[in-house]
Structure 1
Amino acid sequence: MAGDVRTAAVTSIGSSIFAVLSILVIATIALLVIRYYLPLRTTPAYLLVPVFLALTLPSSIILLVPIDLASADGNDTKHSRGVWLPERVILVAWRITYWLTFMLTWFILPLLGEYCDSGYRDARSRVIYSLRSNLRYQLIALATGIAGLVYFILENGFHVASIKGLVMALAYAWGLTLAIGLMGHGLVALPRTIFRNASVSGRLRRLQAQAPKLKDNLDEATDKLEELEHTVYQLKRHKGGASREQQEWIDELAESSTILDQRPGTAAAVQATNPSIPAVVTDRYLADLTRKLKRARHRKARFVNEWANLVQQAQDTQTILDSSSSKKLDWGRRNPQESSLFGKLSFLTPAMRYKLHMNVLPYMRMGFAGFLGLASILIVWSEIVKSFAPQLSVIGLTVVHHPDSKSGGKVNFAGQLIAAAWLLYMDSSALYAVSDVKVWGNRALVKRQTYAESACWYSLQVAKLTVPLSYNFITLMPPTVYEDTSFHFFLGKLIDLTPLGHGFSAFFPCLLLIPALATLFNLYGKMKGVLGFGVLEDDSEENPSGFGTGGWREGRSLIDREIQSGTAEGTLGLASRGASLDLERDAAATTTPAPRRAERTENRQQPFRDDNIREANRTFNSITNQEEEQDDSPRHFYQDFTERVRNTFDTAEQPEWMKNIGSAFKAPKWMQRDQRDDTGGSGLARWFGGRPEDGRVRL
């Protein structure tokens, strides 16, 4: 007996050391991730510490769940087969991790994000703005909580456990709803992206297809930032009526802008933009202007970084394709640090590098994508069958190696490694969907320039998604295993306190199949196409060149021009990306920023023009586009809508097998085309306006 106690103690010490070292490694990785996106020296501590905890605590759950599985009561016979900790230590770890994550998710990070996004200067005004911004969301949560509290009291009576269970159950339900939707998308999108990138030519084509839209976003962000900076410059010239504090505030905004007072043509540009400055400048107006400036700078920095990465990847991919003739791959860069990880390896010769990028890496990507695709299928299968046949759960079968053995543990060290791998992939899929689904507004992660509000928001998503996915993962195990864990004792019993909570935890994850199938069959894109939000195809017969449609050919032209301008300057041409590619750099300072995207759109349609004609058309389009932007009447919207509907019906071609259907039936007179009307078009199209003359729309 004494020998068994001594062996258990030694094993517990070894497991404790391993757990502490693992937590230190996780904390180091989280700190390196933060350092990649935020400058550590200039980031304030009130932002750095919550973001660090929001990344470290959820990441440690990936370690805590396998340890909890191995530390269950059924594994008391041989703890040496896995990493285990005493039950009391596991329970305390869960309480600390859960409640800190809960506070970060629902209170600290939302308030901190609005505090950083506020444009006020003093801390008191920032706190008031943050509280007001979160008040509506908190009231909605409070109303939902009151309704849930009534249900809990009716089911279990009024106890402290009812209130505690209500809070934890509502937080779990909301987090699981979001996590299931995102994970279902990521389980399909992540393997598919890796598989598509296996083809070098296909990867280049997709990069080129993304270039026009990304360049438009960059130009739009640059125009918006310049407009706001012109407003600040105009405000500085008329700050005489402001108070002393407001004048200092305006001077700080002017010093942080990139517009120089002595630059030729600045005064004319400011007058042309005609910024709307109120007669009385208030603190609220200055705060709103400051907030817009910070968001505009973040938006520009985001698209500058994305454009630079896209051009660099396209250049690398094109270099790989060009090396097919010589069978040797040489990046030819002056700075070898710009190359990829494999390009930094000194022992790789150009011939070996060519074999690696053309033969080895594509097959490795396809194999890895197939492996992840199989894992995604098994996860979806396990989620579906766990509610009615838990013994068929593949995740449970791979983690629990000896479910019926009395001498061996139910979850040994190999099972712990597999459990950590499963949980890591589920969390990675959900987080990949966060970055893949572009519905989060202006929030983005930018290398060393991430906006403070975006950093809070992304760390909040990590903290919000990890806990529900972790508990959902342990429910994929057999009930005899996960019901003995401390995680189930701490969280699961409160979730299962009512029949509604138990049914939600058991059956709601089956809906994972819906977002997975929607992503697999591109239902989102088809819905966008049906509703009229799709992108025009660039390989139409009317426009075989692809220009004017935002296709890959135009993207290739934009990337080539960027590379050529970078070659002439000794850089990648990023210094001049604020101006249009067809504009002279010295003329950008004396023109208003509004026509920049219109000039690029006009130049897409006829890219090979004489310089004089191009300059004349650019001036004409600048005038006409400014006039069109002033037309905000309802007629302009309905004119565009009716024309698109009419074109939809007129240009649709029926298949041959459908042309003879209904020929025996005569259409009503109100649907027949008037023989005296030579305008053409169907009767339905005439409701939305026919064409009395070519090129004109009749309203």
Structure 2
Amino acid sequence: MIEIASTSSPVGSVVFACIAVFALSIAVLLILRHYLPLRTTPAFLLVPIFFALWLPASIVLLVPIDLASSDSDQDVGNRGIWLPQRAILVSWRITYWLTFALTWFILPILSEYADAGYRDPKGRLMFSLRANAQYQALLFGSAFVGGIYIFISSGVSFESLKGTVMAMAYCWGLILAIYLMGHGLVAIPRSLFRNASLSGRLRRIQQKAAKVHEKMEEAITNMEDLEAQVTELSKRKTGSARLFEEWIEELVEESHLPESRPRTLARRMSVPNVTTPSVITERYMADLSRQLNRAQHSRARYVDEWDRILYEAVETQAILDSAASKRIDIGQSSPHAGFWDQITIHTPYTRYLYHYYFMPYFRISSGAFLALASICIVWSEVIKTVNPFISVISLTVVHHPNSDRGQVGFAGQVIASLWILYMFAAALTSLSEVKVWRGRALVRRNTHGESAGWYAMQVAKLSVPLSFNFLTFLAPDVYMDTVFYKFLGKLINLTPLGSWFDWLFPMFILFPVCATLFNLYGKTKRLVGMDGVIDDDEDENQSGYGTGSWREGRDLIERELHGHSSLPRLSNGNGAASRSATGTSAPSSRLAPTLSVPPAERRQAATTSSPRPSLDRQQRQAVAPEEENFLEAFGHRVKNTLDTVQTPRWLQNMGEGIKRPKWMGGDGEGEPSRSDSSLTRLFGGRQDGRVRL
């Protein structure tokens, strides 16, 4: 690479950049193929999602090239990969404004469009615009307030208007990026340290199994209730239902009724609350279609997660059991297995050494290395306001061999790309752990279109703030000469408030870092009596049943593997059978394996299945939805919120007062005796309802 960049012409760098862009495109396509069914996903959603992922990936390549191309006095042979200033400026303009449009306008509208239950495009578009009306109003309101401040400080001009838009978008993206990145910088190394212990890993898998199984039951129950409504609609052949006969038939076909689960549906149909409104409206049909689509993807999500938990539990248990035999045998390959499944590199003994010794120590060393990288990022965030010249990131990226200003060669470019990638990974990893995203999740080959658009929007939203935040780790005389700073940084620092925000706010990364490091989320949850924002209570609840303990999860996994589960195996949203935990479809890719893999089809236990308690459906009375104005909708939401608020545990225990000791009438555990009061115990207690003197 140094020989390519040693010429005076940037032709070699252009060729390298084109090859790198092509490689990024292939990687993005593979990511899309992993989470989305490419053949069935509509193009109006697939193309924006591709660019929402491809543009941030190109920023990882564009920032190091910009750093090496900014110094015109630098020796060409030491630049690494560089491009002309004009080419970099055009690249930044295209990348930034496309990312801006995808983040704030295109993807929000298309995501709600894909989630709308209407059949015609006009109904879908109107639903999407109504759903984004409040979001866009809040966006323009904030931009209007910020514009007034910038116009007063810098005057009314086109440059001030552009600075308002770019500064407001940067500030909101930086707030979200700092919080998510701070959590991920601790969560990633800690997960590697925890998974290094095989017994501890199995314990956490079992604890997670209880929670996932409960959510899977709820998703299946919700799906069955919605399917029962569709069945009731299909029986109506008169009245307003005739206007939506084709629509109802499509819902029946999508639900695969009644062939999918006739026994479960028969039990559900006996519930009298599952009824339909007397008058069927278009809005009711759209709402039912939307709920049915969400329920199908929610069910597929938890079924896939449950299969993955089963596979991880069986694999971890097999590794622990191999300590005696010193062998892990996976059996012979099936003729129906794929190419990669038929390749076997390890022998049973080397496979044992690899899983039992190499992987734990590799996780420990990787966790220590990433923990050190996290400390360097946090140190650079804090120290850059005091002295950016002692920033660890600046020292690793910028080298000073023969220049007073500093040089960024090819090695510095590679290191800069790795730093940006780790910052991106820390922020994006937190998206799957923070539970405030309306149940959105990424599912292998079955991600909901609205969820895929939303996650792509977050990736695009975080890319520019994190990239510019990385530039501020370097010395001012290095990053102020870059095209990225001249394009975005000057508009952010157009006012003193923007300059102070850009310099001081990243120091608040210490809050999410400390909150995650010391488990403040779990402590706040126990204090307030509400569910925590981040699922970080893995080491709690070591015993007890019914509360998501590892013992309950162990029993659920054992019952599932022995075919005694009360849940029938469900098909995915497309009607095909669910894949096994290995990611391959049934039949299994190995014949007669010693390391058994959970089957793709759960066995139906018709005779041994215990009926699950149905959810209370009194709130879901079959009443045709009516149009509500803003005040009525707001009042209903406030009422529902207040009705569902639970009293905190510490407030519930406040009424118990001071517990009396045993000698004053309490029982062995410090609680007052239920049979004898303290006064009667002074006279010898009660006998047959009388006081014994």
Normalising by structure 1, what TM-score?
0.81
- The alignment status of 1:317 with 2:316, answered yes or no, reads yes
How much has 1:529 moved relative to structure 2? 1.2
| Matched residue type, 2:239 | G
Question: Residues of 1 paired with 2:270 and 2:58: CA distance?
Answer: 56
Read off the aligned partner of 2:323 and give its amino acid letter: S
**Structure 1 residues 20-35: aligned runs within 5 Å:** 20-35=18-33
Aligned to 2:75: 77
Aligned counterpart, 2:355: 357
Question: Residues 498 and 270 (structure 1 numbering): CA distance in 2 closer, same or farther, change over 3 Å?
Answer: same
Amino acid at match of 2:478: V
Taking the TM superposition and a 5 Å limit, the aligned residue runs for 1:116-515 are 116-242=114-240, 245-260=243-258, 263=262, 269-332=268-331, 346-402=344-400, 405=403, 410-515=407-512
1:137-194, Cα deviation, whole Å (9 max, x unpaired): 1111111111111111111111000000000000000000000000000000011001
Paired AA for residue 70 in structure 1: A
Matched, 1:531 2:528: yes
- The Cα of 1:257 is off from its aligned counterpart by 1.0
Question: C-alpha displacement at 1:532, in angstroms?
Answer: 2.4
Q: Is the 8 A contact 2:56 2:459 kept in 1?
A: yes
Find the aligned partners of 2:496 and 2:438 in 1 and give their Cα distance: 38
Contact 1:176 1:465 in 2 (8 A): yes
Work out the CA distance in 2 between the residues paired with 1:674 and 1:462: 57
- Structure 1 pair 47–194 and aligned structure 2 pair: CA distance change class (3 A): same
Give the match's secondary structure for 1:481: helix
CA-to-aligned-CA distance 1:486-529 (integer Å, 9 cap, x gap): 00010000000000011111111011111001100000011111
Q: If each structure's helix is expressed as a fraction of its own residues, which one has the higher value? A: 1
The amino acid across from 1:585 in the alignment is A
CA–CA distance in 1 between the matches of 2:617 and 2:507? Answer: 54
SS of residue matched to 1:565: coil
Q: CA RMSD in A?
A: 3.6
CA contact (8 A) 1:182 1:434 kept: yes
Q: 2:606 aligns with which of 585, 597, 612?
A: 585
> 1:387 Cα shift?
1.3
The Cα shift of 1:548 comes to 3.5
The answer (yes or no) to whether the contact 2:10–2:83 under 8 Å persists in 1 is yes
Q: Is the 8 A contact 2:5 2:82 kept in 1?
A: no
CA contact (8 A) 2:204 2:550 kept: yes
Compared with structure 1, are the counterparts of its residues 332 and 558 closer, same or farther at alpha carbon in structure 2 (3 Å cutoff)? farther
> Match for residue 48 of structure 2?
50
* Residues 634-685 of structure 1: per-residue CA shift (max 9 Å, x gap): 9x9899859985557769999xxxx9xxxxxxxxxxxxx999996689xxxx
Q: Describe the SS at the equivalent of 1:93.
A: helix
Q: What are the Cα deviations for residues 524-550 of structure 1, in whole angstroms up to 9, with x where unaligned?
A: 01111112247896555xxxxx43343
Matching residue within 34, 41, 44 for 2:39: 41
Contact 1:383 1:509 in 2 (8 A): yes
Amino acid at match of 1:238: R
1:76 CA drift (Å): 3.5
> Are the equivalent residues in 1 in contact too, given 2:117–2:286 (CA < 8 A)?
yes
Pick from 567, 575, 600 the counterpart of residue 601 of structure 2. Answer: 575
Q: Match for 2:606: what amino acid?
A: R
Distance 1:273 1:380, change over 3 A: farther
Map of 2:108 onto structure 1:
110
**What residue is the counterpart of 1:662 in the other structure?**
none
What secondary structure, in the 3-state scheme, does the structure 2 residue paired with 1:272 have?
A: coil
Letter of the structure 2 residue corresponding to residue 366 of structure 1:
I
Q: Distance in 2 between matches of 1:292 and 1:462?
A: 26
Shift of 1:240: 1.6
**Against the structure 1 CA distance between its residues 278 and 389, is the aligned structure 2 distance closer, same or farther, given a 3 Å change threshold?**
same
> Displacement of 1:329 after TM fit?
1.2
Distance 1:444 1:639, change over 3 A: closer
Q: What is the rounded CA distance, in whole Å, between the counterparts of 2:617 and 2:300 in structure 1?
A: 30
Residue 264 of structure 1: how far off its partner (Å): 6.7
Cα shift at 1:554: 1.4
Where 1:325 maps in the other structure, the secondary structure is helix
- Offset from partner CA, 1:221-252 (integer Å, 9 cap, x none): 00000100000100111242126551111111
Do 1:90 and 1:486's aligned partners in 2 also have CA atoms closer than 8 Å?
yes
Alpha-carbon displacement from aligned partner over 1:308-351 (angstroms, at most 9, x marks no partner): 0000010000000111111111234765999999x976231111
Distance verdict in 2 for CA 1:675–1:166, change over 3 Å: same
Bigger shift: residues 272-281 or 149-158:
272-281
Give runs of aligned pairs for residues 544-583 of structure 1, distance below 5 A.
546-565=544-563, 572-576=598-602
Aligned residues: 613
CA–CA distance in structure 2, aligned partners of residues 549 and 219 of structure 1? 15
Quote the offset at 1:276 in angstroms: 3.6
Letter aligned with residue 43 of structure 2: A
Code of the residue aligned with 2:84 in structure 1: it is: P
Change in 2 beyond 3 A, CA 1:388/1:627: closer
- What is the alpha-carbon distance in structure 2 between the residues aligned to residue 108 and residue 371 of structure 1? 39
- Consecutive unaligned residues of structure 1, counting only runs of 5 or more, are 1-5, 541-545, 599-621, 660-672, 682-699
Are positions 1:68 and 2:66 aligned together?
yes
Amino acid at match of 1:503: W
The AA in structure 2 aligned to 1:575 is: E
Q: What is the alpha-carbon distance in structure 2 between the residues aligned to residue 221 and residue 528 of structure 1? A: 25
- List aligned pairs for 1:537-686, cutoff 5 A: 538-539=541-542, 546-565=544-563, 572-576=598-602, 584-585=605-606, 596=612, 598=613, 641=647, 645=651
Classify 1:161/1:346 alpha carbon distance in 2 versus 1 (closer, same or farther; 3 Å): same
- Percentage of pairs with the same residue: 48
